[in-house]
Amino acid sequence: MLTRTALALVIALAPLAAAQAAEKAAPGKSGKEVYDTVCAACHATGVLNAPKMGDQKAWKPLIAEGVNSLTRTAIKGIRQMPPRGGNASLTDAEMRRAVVYLANGSGAKFPEPK
């Protein structure tokens, strides 16, 4: 039998547990969705010296670093790019999808994340 305190804690934490379960079950945003809504503001135009999508010369040395390094950088931020492109609600998986989408559109051949 649960005490009143334990029951209150279970009731208070239930919405959080449900939200976490829903996040794990939901596939999240695609790389294209993240790119279109967050990344394109700079990477489509080259604002703030962001390497433009499709600029294979600019992306070649970045692609050589590998998808894991690029994803870590996108999550953490670099120079004038804020962490997660300024959208703190993006998951690591969504960031990886966006990195793959952007890099592949610029000459990489990274496998699509699941």
Q: Which residue has the higher pLDDT, 11 or 91?
A: 91
> Tokens standing for 15?
């919405």
Express as a percent the part of the chain with pLDDT over 70: 77
- Given a cut of 50, is residue 31 above it in pLDDT? yes
Tokens representing 3? Answer: 């005490």
The pTM assigned to this predicted structure is 0.75
**Average pLDDT of the residues in 32-39:** 96
Q: Which residue has the higher pLDDT, 18 or 76?
A: 76
Average pLDDT over residues 26-50: 92
Tell me which architecture the domain covering 28-104 has in CATH: Orthogonal Bundle (1.10)
Which carries the bigger pLDDT value, residue 30 or residue 24?
30
- What is the Cα–Cα distance from 35 to 46, expressed in whole angstroms? 14
pLDDT at position 44 over 50: yes
56-65 and 92-104 are packed helices; what angle lies between their axes, rounded to 10 degrees? 140
